[in-house]
Structure 1
Amino acid sequence: MTDIDRPETFHGLPVLTLPAPGLPRTGPLPAADAVAWRLESAWQGSLTFAALWQHFLDTVDTTHVRARCRPGQWRTGRGGVLGFG
């Protein structure tokens, strides 16, 4: 269990974590411009970010992507500003 805060919206779009390669999907992915894409490689596992990035490029029409969340931890910084840590 981690205490990482994962925003549910980003730039006015709902955030969707791209399913990792090889995982079953419950349905089709949304249109590339309908969500902010979050890419998460396993911090304890064999999926590297390079492999996940290639999966993203192969799976999503990146010419229509409007937002992508940076991987990592969001936290409250100095002055109470939400930032990337």
Structure 2
Amino acid sequence: MATGNVPDDLPTRVTEAVAATVDGRPIAVTIGYQTVRMRKLVTREQIGPDLHVPKPVTAVAISEDGHIIVGSTATCGIQSRRSRSSTGTAGLSG
């Protein structure tokens, strides 16, 4: 397990976090109520804008191919890491 300093600009209400290596880069995804946020772990730089969802987020995962999977009590969605879609998902490229 890797250790390090926690970024001081994380949202105060993070309820869950996952980390994975995507395209050779370690990333973290955090959820807090209705917000999903992605970060590059090495630089602590946020990847894309916050993703706001209409219902409280209850679970988050990163698939083997790098897709962000977000679930709530009402629905589940997959966020593409390659492109920005018309539904407002942010890509992980860059």
For the criterion TM > 0.5, the same-fold answer is no
Which of the pair is proportionally richer in helix? 1
Which of the pair is proportionally richer in strand? 2
Q: Bigger relative contact order, structure 1 or 2, given CA contacts below 8 A and separation 6+?
A: 1
TM-score by length of 2: 0.24
Larger Rg: 1
